[in-house]
Structure 1
Amino acid sequence: MAATAAFNVLSATSIFRLSSALQFSSKPLLLPVCFSPRTPCRPRILRIYALSSNDIKVGTNLEVDGAPWRVLEFLHVKPGKGAAFVRTKMRNYITGNTVEKTFRAGSTIDEADVFKETKQFTYKDGSQYVFMDLNTFEETRLNEADVGGKTKWLKEGMDCNLLFWNGKVIDFELPITVQLAVVDVDPGLKGDTASGGSKPATLDTGAVVNVPLFINIGDQILVDTRTGQYMSRA
C-alpha cells in the first residue's frame, strides 16, 4: 500500500510540473499533427523555417504568396553597381506554372513544409486513382487532373512518392525507371539488332515509345519516366 501511495503522489507531482511547463513556458510548443481521423495517428511536427536567399539551390521548396514552389534553376548575381540578388526559376506545385523570380541577397524567405510519403498505386476507381499506405492501409485518391500525363507510366502495384503540403497532396513522383510490356509493335526482322533503327511500340499502360527494331510483342522493357525514352530490355 505504501508503495502504491508513493507512486500516486509522484505521478500527480509529475503531471503538475508538466502542466505548469506547458502553461508558463515562453518557448513555442510543437505539436504532432494528423491528417486523417480515420487512421492511427502518425505524429508529424509542423515546421516553418526561414531561409536566407543565400540558401537557395535546385530542389529547395519555398513558400511564396501563400503557395509552395520548387526551385528549378538559380543564379547568384553580383552586379558591378547595386545590390546582389538571386535569380530563380520556380515551379508552382499546385498549378504547375513556371515563373522567374528574383530575391534580394540576404533576404528572408519561408521554406515550404513539403514532405513525401511512399504509397502504392493499387487500382483505378472510375476517374480516381487510389494509392495505399502499406503500413496503415490508408487510401489516398487522386483525380485524373491531378495525375495528368503520368498515367501513361502508372501501373498497378507501383510504388510512388506522394508530396504533401498543409495536409493535402500537391504532387506525386513516379519511379525513375519502370518496367512495362510491349503489347503492339511491328515484328522485328533478322539483323535488326545491328541496324540501329527504331519503331513505335505500344505498352501495356497505353504509352507509345520508340524502341529498337529487334523488340517484339511480349517483350518487357525499361523506360525512363522523366524522358519517356526506351532504356533496355528488362
Structure 2
Amino acid sequence: MLRTPHLSLLPKPSVFPLRALPGTHRRAIFLRIYALSSNDIKVGTSLEVDGAPWRVLEFLHVKPGKGAAFVRTKLRNYITGNTVEKTFRAASSIEEANVFKETKQFTYKDGSQFVFMDLSTFEEIRLNEGDVGDKTKWLKEGMNCNVLFWNGKVIDFELPITVQLTIVDVDPGLKGDTAQGGSKPAKLDTGAVVNVPLFVNIGDEILVDTRTGQYMSRA
C-alpha cells in the first residue's frame, strides 16, 4: 500500500522573529507579513500606509456608474493622531499593520510621565503627557487599559469603555424637576467635569462612557 504524504492545504502567514531594539519594549517581536484586500476593510482595521500604522475610522464602498469601484476611507495615524481621507481601488492589496494589544494597569504618575505596569512581569511602560492627551481626564490609578504595540514600540493605549469614578464637587443647592430629567455639572476625582442628574451628590460613584464623556448611571 502506498502512503500519501500529508499536505497542508491552508497557507499560513510568514512569521519572522526580530530582536528588540534598544529602548523598545523587550519581548519576542514577530513581524507578520500579511496582505489584506481593500474589500476586507472595516472600522477598526489596522493598515500600514507609507511606513506608518493607521486605524480605519470610517469606510465606504463606492461603485460608480462609470469607472472602477473603490473604497473611500477615513484613517487615523496611531502615532501622530492625525486623520486623513484616502481611497483604495476595489480588491487592491493593502498591507495590514502588525498592531497588537496587551492589558496593563495604570499604577501612578511620575512627574510628567504616566506609568503602566504588566501585572505578570511587573515590567513598567511610561507614556508622556503628550501621548496620553485628553484621556488623562478618565485615567485613574489601578485602572486596566489596553496598550497598543507596533514593531515592538508603544504607539497608543485604550481606556475601558466604561469607567467608575467618584463625584468630588457638585452644587448641592441646584434645584430642578428630577422627573423632567434636569442635569447639573459635577467634578470627578480625575478632574473631569460631566453633566449628571439632579439627584446625584458628592461622594456618589458613577459610570461614565469614555467614548462620549457622558454619564451612564450610578455605580
Aligned residue pairs, count: 206
| Pick aligned residue for 2:79 from 79, 94, 110 | 94
Alignment of 1:80-159 (within 5 A): 80-159=65-144
What's 1:178 paired with? 163
Kept in 2, the 8 Å contact 1:86–1:102? The answer is: yes
Q: CA deviation at 1:195?
A: 3.7
Structure 2 gap ranges (5+): 1-13
What TM-score does the superposition give when structure 1 sets the normalisation length?
Answer: 0.82
Task: State how far apart, in whole Å, the 1-side matches of 2:129 and 2:174 are.
Answer: 39
Task: State how far apart, in whole Å, the 2-side matches of 1:188 and 1:69 are.
Answer: 48
Specify the code of the residue in structure 1 equivalent to 2:17. L
- Where 2:169 maps in the other structure, the secondary structure is strand
Relative contact order higher in (CA < 8 Å, ≥ 6 apart): 2
What's 2:36 paired with? 51
Deviations 1:98-140 (A, max 9, x none): 1110011121111000000000000000000000000000000
What's 2:193 paired with? 208
Deviations 1:10-42 (A, max 9, x none): xxxxxxxxxxxxxxxxxx663265577999x75
Kept in 2, the 8 Å contact 1:188–1:215? The answer is: no
C-alpha RMSD of matched pairs (Å): 2.2
Larger radius of gyration: 1
* Counterparts in 2 of 1:145 and 1:203: CA distance versus 1, 3 Å: same
What TM-score does the superposition give when structure 2 sets the normalisation length?
Answer: 0.87
Q: CA deviation at 1:189?
A: 7.3
Specify the code of the residue in structure 2 equivalent to 1:179. Q
Deviations 1:20-76 (A, max 9, x none): xxxxxxxx663265577999x754432121111111111111000111011111111
* Counterparts in 2 of 1:109 and 1:29: CA distance versus 1, 3 Å: closer
Task: State how far apart, in whole Å, the 2-side matches of 1:215 and 1:60 are.
Answer: 39
Kept in 1, the 8 Å contact 2:98–2:150? The answer is: yes
Q: Please state which structure has a larger fraction of its residues in helix.
A: 1
Q: Which moved more, 1:153-162 or 1:187-196?
A: 187-196
What's 1:220 paired with? 205
Specify the code of the residue in structure 2 equivalent to 1:207. A
Structure 1 gap ranges (5+): 1-27
Kept in 2, the 8 Å contact 1:188–1:214? The answer is: no
Kept in 2, the 8 Å contact 1:119–1:161? The answer is: yes
